[in-house]
Amino acid sequence: MTDQQQRNLDPAQIEVDVTAGIGTTPVDGTDARQNSLWSDAWGSLRRNVLFWIGAFLTLLFTLMAVVPQVFARGVDPRACDLANSKALPSAAHWFGYDIQGCDYLANVVYGARNSLIIGIFAVLVILLLGVAVGAIAGYFGGLTDGILSRIADIFYALPLILGALVLLRVGPSTDIPIINSRGPGAVALALALFGWMTAMRLVRSQVIAVKSQDYVAAARAMGASDRRILIRHILPNAVAPVLVYTTITVGVLIAAEATLTFLGVGLQRPAISWGLQIAAGESSIRSAPHLVLFPSIILTLTVMAFIMMGDALRDALDPRQRS
């Protein structure tokens, strides 16, 4: 929890969003309030430079993950010549060569795919876990809520990187599918398993807040079922804060993946990953600093893209911050 990736999952940072979806009027009209919330938000997003920078970078790195050969200028990242080992950047090879003498631009570009896949897959699992557990805890309350919230507390007390580190270290010697694979799936699952609690708390508090509103009571009085109330009336209100959280979290998880891989428990060679590149470059940081620098910069820009978009979304969706 010391490392910044963990702190970004702190609910305090997202708490401003908690009320974003809740209107002040207790009358019915989930739809009407949602509509004006989203159209207002879009109006303010459109004028936010940071949002557009974030969106542009996200698009850029997504393309990089889908068609890396275009960005690598057709160079094969695995076509290496030891004679070029650690060669510095040049006009023909913008990022220079790595220790094995592979074109570094191609390697850095090809690293985007694993990062994005892990980030997005992990966030989807987090959402699934968080929304399901949070909605159940908030809606049913009482003992159910007590138990589920304590479980979340337990996971919350464990630092994300540390929990994932332990699981990924013992993973390969277990019989659990995916977790024992040493692949992107294992990293994503490990991150999700120790990172779902904030999403759960967010959804839970939204559900509790909305549950007591008059229009939900009215729906119940008219005989709507629990499931229908949850899906029709309560969850739509949780969408705004969860969306902000999700966007930021993708960035946080991409950084966490690179960290775990750097620490030796994430992706393994011959996979191409920014974490592996930084780890390999560390030993020659004095003679060839570009080996650490380039994957670091691209990694940072990717993380920044998502955090900027999330920040802009937060500002746009929080009516209290409008002046």
- For 89-103, b/e burial (b = at least 16 CB within 10 A) is eeeebebbbbbebbb
- For 18-36, b/e burial (b = at least 16 CB within 10 A) is bbbbbbeeeeeebeebbee
- Residue with Cβ nearer other proteins (91 or 323): 323
Question: Least distance in Å: CB of 85 to other proteins?
Answer: 20
- Residue with Cβ nearer other proteins (238 or 250): 250
- Residue with Cβ nearer other proteins (7 or 211): 7
Question: Least distance in Å: CB of 288 to other proteins?
Answer: 12
Question: Least distance in Å: CB of 264 to other proteins?
Answer: 7
Beta bridge partners, 124, equal none
CA-to-CA distance for 228 and 170, rounded, in angstroms? 42
Question: Least distance in Å: CB of 50 to other proteins?
Answer: 7
- The phi, psi pair for 102, rounded to 5°, reads -95, 150
Q: Tokens representing 106?
A: 């191609």
- Residue with Cβ nearer other proteins (147 or 217): 147
Question: Least distance in Å: CB of 5 to other proteins?
Answer: 7
Beta bridge partners, 48, equal none
Summarize as ranges the residues that interact with other proteins (CB under 8 A): 1-8, 12-13, 50, 150-151, 153-155, 157-159, 161-163, 165-167, 169-171, 173-176, 180, 251, 255, 258-259, 262-265, 275, 278, 282, 285-286, 289, 292-293, 296-297, 299-300, 303-304, 307-308, 311
Query: Nearest-5° angle of CA 316, CA 205, CA 303?
Result: 45
- Residue with Cβ nearer other proteins (59 or 70): 59
- Residue with Cβ nearer other proteins (213 or 259): 259
Question: Least distance in Å: CB of 117 to other proteins?
Answer: 18
Contact 53, 308 (CB under 8 A): yes
Q: Can you tell me which residue has the tokens 């911050």?
A: 321
Determine the residue type at 159: P
